[in-house]
A = this chain, B = another copy of it.
Amino acid sequence: MRANKVKDMWQVGGAVLNGWLQIPSAWSAELMANQGWDSLTIDMQHGLIGYETAVHQLQAISTTDTVPIVRVPWNEPGIIMKMLDAGAYGIICPMINSRAEAEAFVGACRYAPEGYRSVGPIRARVYGGDDYGTAANQTVITMAMIETAAALENVEDIISVPGLDAIYIGPADLSLSLTGTVQVDYTDPDLLAVLDTILGAAQQQGIAAGIHTKAPEFATKMVKKGFQFVTVSSDSSLVQSGAQAIVTKMKGKANEPAADSPY
């Protein structure tokens, strides 16, 4: 089976640079896949991406050796299994708040006896290879999002679920849940401490920790802390910020400066 470069990097202590897709287009996906990201995540939760476009994007990413990951809209086995069958090499699942939710998520990603994923890896086998059926459980990555006060409280229960490969921090939801306001690329020491707590728990368990960021500077800090999977910006944000920069240069002022936009 085709190796999972993300898993390989984690095993040697490396940090994965992940790109983020929110534009529903196989072309923007292919363009992003050619820019040097280690992995690309198709965001089916907050991105404007439905199932059929996501499959086209998986194909587009597969024109390169960038690792294709999918964030599913919710912890629901139907869509998790569909994306795995379509060739996703990793699933990021939002809002995992308890051990039971983590078990349900991981189980959907694993064939029996380790889970309850149904057999039929139609495109995954073409992408991964003929031995996909027997090697997938050891190759496909599962990442549970830690992004609420409840998840923080249950973090050790969650990360110890067998078969969970990593946790992924959603800073916007996490800060909203903990402080009542949305923050990203934290500067607040209390929130930074929370990141340390979660990271520490993951490291103790021996699984990887990842985090969503807005800018390379913060992402670099996170990598130095020990995070092994950092997302920086998104295709959608690149269009917006790039256009704003041009319009501002040409007109003095762009349409709507997104001053303190937390997204």
Residues of B within 8 A of A170 (CB): 118-119
A23 close to B19 (CB less than 8 A): no
A49-88 contacts to B, CB under 8 A, are 50-53, 55-56, 59-60, 62-63, 72-74, 76-79, 81-82, 85-86
Stretch among A154-162, A187-195, A197-205, A232-240 lining the B interface: A232-240
Contact check, A30 vs B59: say whether CB atoms are below 8 A apart. yes
B240 touches A239 (CB 8 A): no
A25/B22 in contact, CB under 8 A: no
A122–B112 Cα distance when bound, in Å, is: 37
Q: How far is the CB of A98 from chain B (nearest CB, A)?
A: 13
Tell yes or no: A99 within 8 A of B by CB. Answer: no
Contact between B46 and A247 (Cβ–Cβ < 8 Å)? no
Chain A residues 196 to 253 lying within 8 A of chain B, measured CB to CB, are 216, 219-220, 230, 232-233, 235-244, 246-247, 249-251, 253
| Contact (A250, B62) CB under 8 Å given A28-B25, A82-B45 | no
Whether B116 lies near A34 (C-beta < 8 A) is no
Residue A121 is within 8 A (CB to CB) of chain B in the complex: yes
Residue from A37, A112, A255 having most chain B Cβ neighbours under 10 A? A112
Does A13 count as interface, using CB distance less than 8 angstroms?
no
Question: Size class of A's contact patch?
Answer: 35 or more
Cβ 8 A contact of A239, one of B36, B77, B238: B238
Residues of A19-39 at the interface with B, using a CB-CB cut-off of 8 Å, are 19, 22-28, 30-32, 34-37
Q: Which residues of B contact A177 (CB under 8 A)?
A: 112-113
Interface: A9 (CB within 8 A): no
Partner of A25, one of B24, B76, B78, B148: B24
